[in-house]
């Protein structure tokens, strides 16, 4: 664990200074930043809050407007918060009971309305000046097995014929991007964060996959791990990135591509250090989220630099 922060991402063609929280919050004064998506955006948000906290000791917890987690920095009148919306679109469990009425035998489906945003972020369109979106890590059969599948609806009606999961994701991306373009003011700075890579070795998270590595991967190993043509357990990131690139093409989204720099860091996940003695037995190793301090701190440096650049251009 102690070696995680011995490594640092160094760009080849530019300098990447560490965030200056005082200067950044002063530049952001009277503005707000929102993260929308799954737990990897929460991981990102947590790193951001840790970085900014030292600049305002009066910072307070903030969980309004449907936010899952956040903070308000009163000295600068800045809010930074995360809205949990793992599919971005609205979804809910629809049980289907047996003819005998025995609920213990119930089965069902997860209904996904591809054209309706999740409630958790539906009312934030005019609040944030910067938004960072993501989705992807829940779009797998390990999260939604075929016995309890995602069933996609549009305009209140089931889509026929039924869509496979990746086709459903493409449609959700199309509608969510359209909704954001229509409902969120043009002056809002919008980022779409590409996928955070996972580093499961030997199987999925629920199939004894592990990531007990002491050093980052070598450049020559990356395609073996992540190229979709190899059909490995970590192919998700590059596969979904292609769908995201297609969905946000010709929009005013700025791509926040943190995938490649993070692919190296097989050594930087919590793995077996999950805080609870029985956590690994229950959940398996965590080779998806990141230790803090760690990789997301570099993400924060990149995002803060991009935001600062845009604000200085105004």
pTM, rounded to two decimals: 0.93
pLDDT in tens, 190-216: 999 999 999 999 888 777 788 989 999
Q: In the prediction, which pLDDT does 101 show?
A: 45
The structural domains of the chain, ordered by start, are: 4-89+117-139+165-313 (3.40.50.1110)
- pLDDT averaged over the chain? 92
HEC profile of 149-217: CEEEEECCEECCCCCCHHHHHHHHHHHHHHHHHHHCCCCCEEEEECCCCCCCECCCCCCCCECCCCCCC
In what helix (H) or strand (E) does residue 102 lie, and over which residues does it extend? none
Q: In the prediction, which pLDDT does 274 show?
A: 59
Q: In the prediction, which pLDDT does 125 show?
A: 87
SS3 230: helix
Pairing of strands 32-37, 78-84: parallel
Q: For tokens 């999925």, name the residue.
A: 204
Is the CA virtual torsion 20, 24, 27, 30 positive or negative? negative
pLDDT in tens, 47-95: 999 999 999 999 999 999 999 999 999 999 999 999 999 999 999 999 9
């Amino acid at each position: 664990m102690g070696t995680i922060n011995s490594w640092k991402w160094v760009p080849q063609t530019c300098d990447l200074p560490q965030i200056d929280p005082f200067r950044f919050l002063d530049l952001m004064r009277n503005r707000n930043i929102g993260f929308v998506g799954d737990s990897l955006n929460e991981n990102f948000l947590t790193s951001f809050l840790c970085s900014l906290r030292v600049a305002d000791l009066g910072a307070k917890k903030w969980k309004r407007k449907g936010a899952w987690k956040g903070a308000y920095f009163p000295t600068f009148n800045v809010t930074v918060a995360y809205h949990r919306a793992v599919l971005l679109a609205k979804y809910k469990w629809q049980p289907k009971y047996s003819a005998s009425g025995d609920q213990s035998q119930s089965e069902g489906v997860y209904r996904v309305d591809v054209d309706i945003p999740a409630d958790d972020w539906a009312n934030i369109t005019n609040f944030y000046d910067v938004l960072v979106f993501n989705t992807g890590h829940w779009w797998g059969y390990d999260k939604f097995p075929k016995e309890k599948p995602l069933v996609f609806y549009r305009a209140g009606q089931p889509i026929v014929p039924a869509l496979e999961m990746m086709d459903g994701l493409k449609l959700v991306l199309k509608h969510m991007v359209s909704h954001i373009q229509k409902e969120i003011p043009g002056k809002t700075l919008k980022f779409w964060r590409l996928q955070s890579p996972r580093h499961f070795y030997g199987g999925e998270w629920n199939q004894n996959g592990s990531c007990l590595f002491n050093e980052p991967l070598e450049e020559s190993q990356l395609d073996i791990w992540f190229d979709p043509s190899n059909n490995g357990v970590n192919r998700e990131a590059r596969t979904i990135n292609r769908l995201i690139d297609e969905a946000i093409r010709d929009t005013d989204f700025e791509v926040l591509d943190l995938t490649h720099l993070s692919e190296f860091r097989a050594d930087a996940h919590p793995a077996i250090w999950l805080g609870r003695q029985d956590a690994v037995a229950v959940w398996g190793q965590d080779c998806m989220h990141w230790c803090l301090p760690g990789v997301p701190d570099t993400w924060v440096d990149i995002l803060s630099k991009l935001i600062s650049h845009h604000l200085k251009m105004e």
